[in-house]
Amino acid sequence: MSIKNFKLSIGHLYPKELNLYGDWGNIESLIYRCVNRRIGVEVTNIDASTARSEVFKRADIFFMGGGPDSIQKNIFKDFLFSKGPYIKECFLKNKVGLFICGAYQLLGNYYRPYFGEDIKGLGLVDFYTEHFGRDSKRCVGNVVVDISNLNINTSFSRYLVGFENHGGNTFLGPKRPLLGSVKKGFGNNRKDKTEGIHVRNFFGSYLHGPLLPKNPHFSDHLISLALNLKYKDNIKLVPLDDSLELIAHKSALILK
3-state class (DSSP) for residue 177 = coil
Task: Respond yes or no: is residue 166 known to be catalytic.
Answer: no
135 in Cβ contact with 154 (< 8 Å): no
Residue in 166, 198, 208, 249 annotated catalytic? 208
CA end-to-end distance (rounded Å), the chain? 47
Torsion sign across C-alpha atoms 46, 52, 56, 59: negative
8-state DSSP, 82 = I
Contact, 164 vs 140, CB < 8 A? yes
Q: Catalytic residue at 208?
A: yes
Is the preceding peptide bond at 177 cis, omega within 30 degrees of 0?
no
Among 12, 101, 131, 198, which one carries the catalytic annotation?
A: 101
Peptide bond into 210 cis (omega under 30): yes
d(Cα 180, Cα 174) in Å, to the nearest integer? Answer: 16
Label residue 171 exposed, middle or buried (CB < 10 Å: 0-12, 13-18, 19+).
middle
| Residues known to be catalytic | 101, 208
